[in-house]
Amino acid sequence: MTTTHATLAPTIKFPTTQIVIDGVDKRFSTSGQEVVALRGIDLSIRTGEFICLLGPSGCGKSTLLNAIAGFSPPSAGRITVDGVPVREPGPDRGMVFQEYALFPWMTVAKNIAFGLEIKGADRADIERRTALLMEKLSLSDFRDRYPKDLSGGMRQRVAIARILALDSPILLMDEPFGALDALTRRTLQDELLRIWQEDRKTVIFVTHSIEESIYLADRIVVMTYRPGTIKTIVPVTLPRPRDTSLGDFNELKRELSRMVMEEQQRFTDDEIRHAAVD
């Protein structure tokens, strides 16, 4: 694993290490064959840091995120959060999926409040926190609407608000804006950054988009095609808010594009080989 430095502005200092990924492997058995999804992943993530996992399909980004979430434990190695081994999902890690995962029979307000109700929170606290998050994410006018009545962007706002309601210190986000149009995507990127800067939660964000990773991250973890390893870690020291039209932004975009396209070519070659065998 190598580390590439973009020395464009002073690096933000984070106080403590919160998540440690130590020698993690992940293997699956499919159709009688073993697939090595992750191999030898070592990564430390600091409290309040915004990390993007970047790479082509098949590089294990979502697999690693699910391991951190506790949904799919590693085959080897270990993951700790605040020194405690991750063995199952927990309230300290909130997950936002690309598919929104909202309850269609619940209104916006009830979707946001659901987790708090399950936790047995006080009714007044549920109503206060739900109202605060609806205001923060511009959902107040939609509180009594159902998911079917909302655009994709609004549904994703509700999904984010529902996770934020639980006040988990760690947000795990699996391509949450991948299905959205470009303008809605940028709007929600800005909303996410605003919330992150206010609350300083630790964010681990999976993306295929090189530009999105530069726009959001403190560090970008570039992963190799299967078996997924860490190809390089790129600190992004561009000052926020970041202007995607500036030369420094595009210089870093070219550097990352070269690295990611090397892995994308490996993915393409593998697809062709499998097609030939079939």
24-47 tens-digit pLDDT: 999 988 777 888 999 999 999 999
Provide, rounded to the nearest whole percent, the portion of the chain with pLDDT above 70. Answer: 92
Whether this prediction's pTM lies above 0.85 is answered by: yes
Same domain, yes or no, for 87 and 208? Answer: yes
Provide, rounded to the nearest whole percent, the portion of the chain with pLDDT above 90. Answer: 76
Mean pLDDT of 42-56: 96
> Residue 266 domain-assigned?
no
3-state per-residue secondary structure call for the chain: CEECCECCCCCCCCCCEEEEEEEEEEEEEECCEEEEEEEEEEEEEECCCEEEEECCCCCCHHHHHHHHHCCCCCCEEEEEECCEECCCCCCCEEEECCCCCCCCCCCHHHHHHHHHHHHCCCHHHHHHHHHHHHHHCCCHHHCCCCHHHCCHHHHHHHHHHHHHHCCCCEEEEECCCCCCCHHHHHHHHHHHHHHHHHHCCEEEEEECCHHHHHHHCCEEEEECCCCECEEEEEEECCCCCCCCCCHHHHHHHHHHHHHHHHHHHHHHHHHHHHHHHC
Mean pLDDT of 239-252: 95
Number of domains observed in the structure of the chain: 2
| pLDDT of res. 278 | 55
Same domain, yes or no, for 84 and 174? Answer: yes
Containing structural domain, residue 37: 17-92+169-243
> Residue 80 domain-assigned?
yes
> Residue 46 domain-assigned?
yes
